[in-house]
Amino acid sequence: MTTPTTIVPPPPSDGSDIPPLWFTVPEGLFALPIAPTPEGRTALAHGFVRELYSEGDESVWTPAAPYYAAIAEYMAAEGVSYSAMGLFSTEEGGVAQCAFTVAAVETDQKDPEIAAQGTLSILSKDPLNDARWLDLPCGPAVSCITLREFTLDPSVTASGEQAKLLTGQIQIYVPFPTGPYTAVFTLYTASTEYWGEFCDMVAAILQTVSFVEPED
């Protein structure tokens, strides 16, 4: 298990001057080794696999580290500043899983209020989006929830029969007050039977988002 940790995403690999932000993640989120340099990713990957496979050994960790370093390199190239795998034990003895990412996208607005209003207007045009205005401690934001149902081919199901898979995505758009950027927090999961718990987790993370360094 991990411990609650305050995250400062690394600078982007493309050298863009995105202002910093801080947020705190709960136990159960395992951060991928995203770093601006190959050396940094390699070092973080070795620590990541030891935390993720805590009961493993070098025979597991050694081949796994380059794999996750490569994933982190791809995600960093796509503009992702933070990415984590969520693994949470359930009362039934199973594991509820999710993916959680944070990215910063450039906008043409420096005013957070105007940027948030524009985002809400765009997202609300899609009838499949549940888009809402949020007032966070760090400023205005917009949430967007989407649920999708997929039909799985019998060849990929345990029963050998066609099955339905419901997935959910939560995206929160938080405009920077320190520059023309918007932070995009995304949680994606197929463990929708624990949807309420994931919503609560995202809400708790959002309460910790800050564009100034928090006091210890």
pLDDT digits (tens, 9 = 90+) for 182-214: 999 999 999 999 999 999 999 999 999 999 887
For 31, other C-beta atoms within 10 Å of its C-beta total 21
Q: pLDDT-based confidence at 156, cuts 50/70/90? A: confident
- Taking Cα atoms as reference points, which of 211, 167, 173 lies closest to residue 192? 167
Check residue 103 and give its pLDDT: 92
Q: How far is CA 67 from CA 14, 56, 60, 103, 156, in A?
A: 22, 16, 11, 21, 24
Residue 187 burial class via C-beta count within 10 angstroms: exposed 0-12, middle 13-18, buried 19 and up:
buried
> What is the phi/psi pair of residue 48, to 5°?
-60, -50
Q: pLDDT-based confidence at 216, cuts 50/70/90? A: low
Residues 6 or more apart in contact with residue 170 via CB below 8 angstroms: 143, 144, 145, 185, 186, 187, 198, 199, 202
Q: pLDDT-based confidence at 125, cuts 50/70/90? A: very high
DSSP, collapsed to helix, strand or coil, labels residue 172 as strand
Residue 117 burial class via C-beta count within 10 angstroms: exposed 0-12, middle 13-18, buried 19 and up:
middle
DSSP, collapsed to helix, strand or coil, labels residue 3 as coil
Average pLDDT for residues 148-158, to the nearest whole number? 85
Question: Residue with structure tokens 């007032």?
Answer: 135
Q: Is the pLDDT of residue 69 over 60?
A: yes
Average pLDDT for residues 124-146, to the nearest whole number? 96
In sign, the C-alpha dihedral spanning 159, 167, 97, 74 is positive
Of 74 and 7, the one with more pLDDT = 74
Q: Where are the domains of the chain?
A: 5-206
For 106, other C-beta atoms within 10 Å of its C-beta total 12
What tens digit of pLDDT does each residue of 2-48 get? 345 556 555 555 555 788 889 999 988 998 888 778 888 888 888 88
